[in-house]
Each structure stands twice: as structure tokens, then as C-alpha cells.
Structure 1
């Protein structure tokens, strides 16, 4: 079977790996666009604290976490995966009671989270933390280097015969793949639905996501909205929540409805495929639009900061997860990651001064011991968010499988989502009931 995978992020790379492992003839096509979520993900694997009222979301994230040890063994490389544990921190111990009760309820079905305990002095495990905090310790939580996992999956797929190609891919109405090798742009008309934001009672998802339909900012640790920058306010109609007829006209004008594949001088070819897996993240809507299928996924920007704390052995530090605010995690080499912003600004993959100020200010409020750390890198990604529901793992036509919408859980569930997409493309039974992850009728 010939399968084309559109997108080489963590989901597409995993799909290519699992497809080629089963003997499929695989071509992976990626447009190499700025803002791909995998490259900017922090690498937190701790699904048990979120989605208390969404069984489908939780089942996928939990399965993704369980999949990691088996995948790491199969790939046989050091990819930054380690169970370092997580600290759920708060100033008031009473704030921890709901999440502690949630973990106790879920423990029987997920013993891999480890024995949960209360830590009265979390700075003992993560020294830069502020005094006066209390924490719940989840020992089974892990961190992973998402870029390293993605690259290892692609290398393994290539060893198994897969081909990697760069170009802008779109579909025809019949599900054929057209690949442009010239300059191209991919936009998306998918818009947030009325239930696209947070506020589901999760430990990490409780902050309201205001302005999801207007393209205004929504910051995880700042309840007030801040005025968007002028260039962000000039977002295209489909990115700022325009009326459907305005969006359609704008997309036609910009060549996004099946015509945004190539710039001047570009060459275009048809890629032979029996099946297509669309794993193009926030851009999946544009790829699939010629099918006459709307993919309800939109981009949510996240900016994160990497820093080095000279002399500190950060390799074994646990992940720090406050209820609302910046996460912190350590990696080998005295490296600490702080993030992330939560911004609904459309397809604008820029690191901004305002975003960095928010990350650094909130991070230092939580961990003042990082004040002397050296900032070494900033990253920005556009997370694909499903409007009003769990991720999409489903068919979008006889020959097309869609796998997207993992939001902030791309590195938690991405490798497993790729496995599910591969099973769908091959017509094999999936290890998870995929009914909740279908496109809305």
C-alpha cells in the first residue's frame, strides 16, 4: 500500500514510522512552515491531572503516556525521556485538594502515575522555587525531548523505506495529493467554536481562554486581556472570526481554497497514494478543504524560554505545574524550560517582547531562584486546537485519514496518535475506541 503522510511533526513522524513498520510504501511531505508545534513543545508527559470531565480526551492522553516506554525501547536511543515526576504546586494547600482527589480516583486505572504524596517543601526537589509553596508529587510524570523523538521516528521510518520530501501539499476533491516544490503558503479558515477555550476543571486547563473567537490574547496566568499588537490586530478575516461569507471571500482572494499550493515559478506534481494521512497540525484545515470537509482546528500560539542555570544539576529535577501559570522543567546540561503563553492570534508564529515578558515575569514569581539563569533560546509554536471537542483521529473520506487537534498535549499523545492514524490508514483495528474522535456530522 502507498501512503502519503502530510506533516512531519510528532504525529506525522509516528504515523510514518508505524506505517513503514507494517510494510507500507510511505512518502512524508512537509511544508517546513514556521511555527510547527512539535519543535516548540516543552515535553511534559503528565496526563492524569487534566480533563476530569472529558473521558475521551483523558483516554487518549493517558494512552499516549503509556505508549512511551514501549516506543523508547523500540527506537533504542536516548531521546530525553525520563520519569522525573511532577510537582503540582500552590501557595494554599486547600487548592491542591481537588487534583489530589482526582488522582486518587484515577490511580486504579492508571497505576503508572505512581504513589501520589504531599510535599510540604517542594523547593527541596526543585531548588529555585519560591518559599511557602506546597505540592502534590506525581512520581510517574515524565519529560521528553520532542524534537529528538520526532527526528528518531523519521530516521527509523527512512531506514524502513520511507521517503521524506519538502513541499506544500494539498488534496484534490478526490483525495489525490498535489505537491508544490516552489514557494507556497498555507492558511486555514478553521475557527474556534463557542466551546473552544479552557475552563473544564482541569488542573492545567482551568484558566479561561477569553477572546477565542476574536483573535485576542488569552494568557494562562493573567485573567485580564491585553491589547494585541497592531500587526496581530490586522489578522486576516478567517483568523479574527469574520462572518463566513467574509472568510470565504478572503480565502479565495488569498488562494487558500485549493489554490494556495504554489508561488510563481513553482512546480507541481501529483504524488501517487492509496491512502493519505493528514497530520499537518493547525494547517490541516487548509490541506483538507478541497475535499469539501471543514476541519474544526485552529492555531493557539505558545511562547517558551530556555535558560541555563550555571552549576545546577537540573537533569533530575521534577516538572513544576502550578494550577495557573508557567510550567517549569529541567533537562540535562543545567537547562531549564519556562512556558508557555496561551494566545489566540491566528497564524502569527512570532516571538514577541510582550510574550517573553509574561513568561519571564510569571516564571520568576514562581521560581525566583532562576533570576541569574542565562536565556539561551526562545521558541514559538502554533498548537492545533480542536474547537469544542477532543482531538480528531478519523477518516475524512474514503482515502484520507486526519490526525490533529492535540493542543498542548502534542508531545504527550502525539506518538500514540500517529499509531492510531497508521492503523486507520491500513484498515486495522485500533487499540482505542475512536468513535469520540470523529468529525462532527
Structure 2
């Protein structure tokens, strides 16, 4: 039996641990429980099909991530985990320009041919759009996709960890320090206790660089700050669809009047997890422009998450070539909850020398991890 350490207990690390344990391996999941962890702050929209991103490798990862959810949720239910925060509610893609909306409709029909999980596609007028989402501005038309879903990152991560523990995964909370001997990473120390492992994966998101640096490695994944607002309305909204404006914002509902709107995308913000007046004001203004019916909603919480962004905004995963026994998956950015569970499965395949659905060569680790040299 091969032993594995997974360092970083967000959605990606929790999924990697779960899939390795399902394969019968000994797994230790180590998490520092960082304030600002993207999984804990994020509200996930599972529906990447109309993204404007043109990178084929990113779309392959995101679309496979969306497709994998049905299988994953069914697996978790087999372990008695039904509180995953996942529900298929559909999505409304809105745009103020008629020809842009028609282009979205055409793209949806095109993507439907290779991704039937996208569901049914229809072009809605203003009345039909407002019927599905009563708070939206009255002049909005939309492309309606029935296959989109929402997910609560905290709930899904917790469900994955509980299922992993049922499979024998050991959960350790604390600050990890990677250990190496003769160029081979052979475990990690947490509070002076040593956890030996044949193979180790770093899935710590924006914090991965701090684990790599003592080994002479430079991590290039950087945090991107996102401020997300949570509201309460006096309507039952469990069945309401996700709203996808033409901007980077999103709006989704978690039932019992819980509405989430976000998020800012703040580069060069470091590890600052403070809600700011400017950030909150920016999100509020966008929210009221898209859904003026929120004007009387109660503002109940502001969450701040640090998304891990890799160079060229393309995630990486695979073996770190400069050290034996060391792997990484990182840089999911804003698509963490869409692609994280699936990428955890793919990383588990790589670590066990099995073939996954994706080719890691298209997500090269060398873009995000460099060896520190005298010239660095």
C-alpha cells in the first residue's frame, strides 16, 4: 500500500484525498485552515459552457469538471453524505446587447452537441426572464440553460472530508513543513510530528509557495482577492436559477431567502482578507444594476477569499520535476469549485501512475513552479 500526504484541505485537496482513499491507499490530509481559503469563501456556479475564455485546455478541464459532478454527488451519497450544497437549478445568461445575446444562444447550441449535460437551451424575453428570477431588472432578456448548478463550497468540502475519513483518511490540522532526504520528499512535519509518505501533493492554493520555498522551489501562483456579499430576502428562492451577467459577476441562491452576489477580482492584493469599502461598494452597485429587487434585502455577511491564480490563468497539475515524490495541483482561480473535484480525481490518477481523462502535458507544472538558482 502506497502512502500519500495531501497538504491543503480546500476542495482540491479534499477531492484528491477522497479519490486516493477510494483506490485503497493510506492517505493523510493536512490543512492549516487558512482564513481566506477560496473554498470556504466561494459560492460555486457549475456551468462553464458559455465562458468567453478561448483556451482549449481550460475549457476541457472546466467542462469535464461540470460533467463529473453528477457522478461525484452519487458517490458521496453512497457514503451517506447528502449535505453537499449541490443543486441543479439552471442559469440565466443576460446581456444588454441583442446581438451579443444571440451569439450566446448560438454558442450554447453549439456546445450542447458535445456537452449534452448542458441541458435544454432557450432564448427568453423580458417577461420570461423575470418569471424565473423575479428580482432581476425588467429590461433583461436571457439565454436559459437548464443543466447549470450551484454548489456551496464549504458543504461540499466537508462532505468530501467526512467520506474520506470513513475510508480511513487521517485528518491533521496544523502548519506543514515538507521533509526531504537526498532530493526525495519523504513526508512532512506538523507541530514537530513526522508524517511519512511515499508521495506528497501540494494543494494549498495561494499558500503553496510557502511550502515549496524551503525546498529551493519558487511558486508562481499568486492570490487574487474576491469580496462576496450575502443577502437575505423574504422569499423562498431555492429553485431560482443562477444569474450570469456579461461581466465577471454572478448571482446565485441557496434557498430560504439566501442570495449571494460577487465577486471582485483584485490582483496584487497579497494576502489581505479585509472587506473594504471600495470592494463592497463595487459589488453592491453591480448587484443593484442587475437585480434592483435586492434594494430591500438584508446584507448579512461579506466573505473574502483568495483565489490561486497561475501564470496565463491556466491551472497546473502533475509531478514537480525538481524533486522526487512531490506533486502539485494549483492555479484554479475563479473556476475552483467547478473544476476542483474533477482535478483532484485527475491528480490522484497521476500520483498512482494511472491514465486520467486529461493529459497533464497541457497543464505543465513548470509554468508555476521554478527551481531557485543563483540567477533566480
Query: Residue 389 of structure 1: CA displacement?
Result: 4.4
Residues 164-313 of structure 1: matches in 2 within 5 Å? Answer: 164-173=171-180, 174-181=184-191, 268-310=192-234, 312-313=235-236
Please say if residues 49 and 111 of structure 2, whose CA atoms lie closer than 8 Å, have aligned partners that are also in contact.
Answer: yes
Distance in 2 (alpha carbons) for counterparts of 1:136 and 1:120 = 9
CA distance 1:389–1:365, change in 2 (3 Å): closer
Counterpart Cα distance in 1 of 2:227 and 2:100:
27
Q: Distance in 2 between matches of 1:419 and 1:150?
A: 14
Aligned mate of 1:420, from 323, 343, 346: 346
Distance (Å, rounded) in 2 between the aligned partners of 1:437 and 1:126: 38
1-side partners of 2:213 and 2:350: how far apart? 20
Q: Distance in 2 between matches of 1:10 and 1:59?
A: 19
The equivalent of 1:314 in structure 2 is 237
Retained in 2: the 8 A contact 1:21–1:160? yes
Inter-partner Cα distance in structure 1 for 2:255 and 2:212:
40
Partner of 1:78: 83
Match of residue 39 from structure 1: 40
Determine the C-alpha separation between the residues in 1 that align with 2:54 and 2:34: 34
Give me the whole-angstrom Cα distance separating, in 1, the residues matched to 2:215 and 2:114: 40
1:364-403 aligned at under 5 Å gives the runs 364-396=288-320, 397-403=323-329
Determine helix, strand or coil for the equivalent of 2:324.
Answer: coil
Paired residues for 1:11-90 under 5 Å: 11-76=12-77, 77-90=82-95
* Corresponding position of 2:120: 115
What's the CA shift for 1:171? 2.2
Kindly tell me: are residues 277 and 51 of structure 1, through their superposed partners in 2, closer, same or farther at Cα, counting changes over 3 Å?
A: farther
Cα contact 1:309–1:335 (8 A) shared by 2? yes
Q: Is the 8 A contact 1:51 1:57 kept in 2?
A: no
Distance apart, 1:52 and its partner CA? 4.3
Is residue 125 of structure 1 aligned with residue 132 of structure 2?
yes
Q: Is the 8 A contact 1:176 1:270 kept in 2?
A: no
Deviations 1:328-369 (A, max 9, x none): 111111111011011111111121222111111110111110
Per-residue deviation, residues 16-69 of structure 1 (Å, max 9, x unmatched): 111111111111111111110000111110111125421100000001111111
Matched, 1:96 2:98: no
Question: Are 1:360 and 2:284 matched, yes or no?
Answer: yes
1:410, CA displacement in angstroms? Answer: 0.6
CA contact (8 A) 1:325 1:362 kept: no
CA displacement 1:124-147 (0-9 Å, x = unmatched):
111011111111111111001111
* Runs of 5+ unmatched residues, structure 2: 368-376
Partner of 1:140: 147
Unaligned runs of 5+ in 1: 182-267
C-alpha deviations, 1:182-210, integer Å up to 9, x for none?
xxxxxxxxxxxxxxxxxxxxxxxxxxxxx
Structure with more of its chain in strand, by fraction:
2
Answer yes or no: is the 8 Å Cα contact 1:52–1:102 preserved in 2. no
* Number of equivalences: 354
Structure 2: how far apart are the matches of 1:431 and 1:95?
33
Asked if 1:435 corresponds to 2:361, the answer is yes
Distance 1:75 1:168, change over 3 A: same
Q: Quick one: distance in 1 between partners of 2:217 and 2:145?
A: 41
1:289, 1:99 → 2: CA distance?
44
CA contact (8 A) 1:14 1:418 kept: yes
Which of 305, 330, 333 is the matching residue for 2:256? 333
Q: TM-score, normalised by structure 1?
A: 0.78
- Cα pair distance change 1:287/1:108, threshold 3 Å: same
1:341 counterpart SS class: coil
Displacement of 1:78 in angstroms is 3.5
Tell me how far apart the structure 2 counterparts of residues 177 and 35 of structure 1 sit (CA, whole Å). Answer: 26
- TM-score normalized by the length of structure 2: 0.91
- SS of 2:163's equivalent? helix
